[in-house]
Amino acid sequence: MTNLAFLESELDESPGHSPLFQVIPVPLEETVSYGGGTARGPAAIIAASQQLERWDGVSEPLTAGIGTSPAVDCSGEIGTIYSRIEAAVRQAVEQKAIPVVLGGEHSVSLAPIRVLAKTAPGPIGIIQLDAHADLRDSFEGSPYSHACVMRRALEECGCSLMQFGVRALSREEVDYRREKRIAHLDGRALHGLKLDNFSLPATFPKNIYLTLDVDGLDPSVIGATGTPVPGGPGWYQTLTFIERAVAGRRVLGFDVVELAPRAGDHGSDFAAAQLVYSVMGIIARNFDR
């Protein structure tokens, strides 16, 4: 299963150019705090991707080209794992492809953000879909926990951040978010909100990294995740937000993390694969080579 490529079932025709997207499976599961299983996320997404249709509802993202790297070895200590993920991301960037990292737990995002913060032509703005803020300074003894990943990205890489769908926050995170004036559209504010005319603040960076924690979506869309929280945005509200947020901006990379596949729930795996593919479509339609 792990040797398959993303959407390999449809990859019969070569696009005639190097792929726009490079999928990098990262089966990391080290600091998960509640339900486990994220190590099996990347393989489940790639397996489910074989069932995708080429047409994403608007376009055929596949025609931009999709490559798949071998899964990153996630054994050993976290520093070593991060260097391996960074090497895989750097290789994609050198090949002028947009890295698409499949987690694994949310901690994996720090690696592509580190690489892109160095190689980007300007500052990076992170757009985060998540039920949780992930802004703790440390969690269960680790500063590299999934619950701290956005805090690390902000402090290490000096990125800007916009959070979407957050609805579970510690007091520390509420204070930190206020102090750092972090932009956010929380789950509660999103209820019933139309986003067709949404745009990011003009001052938000032009270079974007999207980090998509599947628990950001309402659990009715994807329930197979370690720490589900009710009251999240729905499928189309999320896609509309992403489409509007990246309009006129350049997406340098993205990740889909925290799928924890469970027996009998192939719907969650498929929804995660469709999320990857639909976001590829948004990026490809917004991109001029």
Nearer to Mn ion, 74 or 166 (CB): 166
Q: Are strands 250-257 and 21-26 parallel, antiparallel or unpaired?
A: unpaired
- Among 287, 276, 285, 286, which residue's Cα sits nearest to residue 22? 276
Q: In the set 40, 90, 106, 151, which binds Mn ion (CB under 5 A)?
A: 106
Nearer to Mn ion, 104 or 281 (CB): 104
Look at the chain and count its residues.
Answer: 289
Residue 216 Cβ vs Mn ion, minimum distance, rounded to whole Å:
7
Stretch that binds Mn ion, among 63-71, 74-82, 174-182, 207-215 (CB under 5 A): 207-215
Nearer to Mn ion, 134 or 243 (CB): 134
Number of residues that bind Mn ion (CB under 5 A): 4
Query: Distance between CA 114 and CA 90 in Å, rounded?
Result: 10
User: Beta-carbon neighbour count of residue 76 at 10 Å?
Assistant: 10
Q: Does residue 56 touch Mn ion according to CB under 5 A?
A: no
Stretch that binds Mn ion, among 57-65, 208-216, 230-238, 246-254 (CB under 5 A): 208-216
Stretch that binds Mn ion, among 86-94, 130-138, 233-241, 261-269 (CB under 5 A): 130-138
Stretch that binds Mn ion, among 38-46, 106-114, 190-198, 271-279 (CB under 5 A): 106-114
Q: In the set 86, 213, 243, 269, which binds Mn ion (CB under 5 A)?
A: 213
DSSP per-residue codes, 12-40: TS--SS--SEEEEEE---SS--SS--GGG
Is the Cα torsion angle 79, 80, 83, 84 positive or negative in sign? negative
Residue 147 Cβ vs Mn ion, minimum distance, rounded to whole Å:
8
Let me know: does 97 contact 19? Beta carbons within 8 Å. yes
Stretch that binds Mn ion, among 46-54, 96-104, 131-139, 199-207 (CB under 5 A): 131-139
Q: Does residue 105 touch Mn ion according to CB under 5 A?
A: no
Nearer to Mn ion, 29 or 213 (CB): 213
Nearer to Mn ion, 31 or 237 (CB): 31
Stretch that binds Mn ion, among 18-26, 212-220, 231-239, 267-275 (CB under 5 A): 212-220
Residue 254 has φ and ψ, to the nearest 5°, of -155, 165
Let me know: does 254 contact 209? Beta carbons within 8 Å. yes
Residue 86 has φ and ψ, to the nearest 5°, of -60, -40
Residue 138 Cβ vs Mn ion, minimum distance, rounded to whole Å:
15
Q: Does residue 29 touch Mn ion according to CB under 5 A?
A: no
Q: Does residue 130 touch Mn ion according to CB under 5 A?
A: yes
Helix (H, G, I), strand (E, B) or coil at 186: coil
β-strand partners of 255: 101, 211
Nearer to Mn ion, 115 or 257 (CB): 257
- Among 271, 203, 208, which residue's Cα sits nearest to residue 242? 208
Query: Distance between CA 83 and CA 98 in Å, rounded?
Result: 18
Query: Distance between CA 86 and CA 83 in Å, rounded?
Result: 5
Query: Distance between CA 60 and CA 58 in Å, rounded?
Result: 7
Q: Does residue 134 touch Mn ion according to CB under 5 A?
A: yes
Which chain residues interact with Mn ion by CB under 5 A?
106, 130, 134, 213
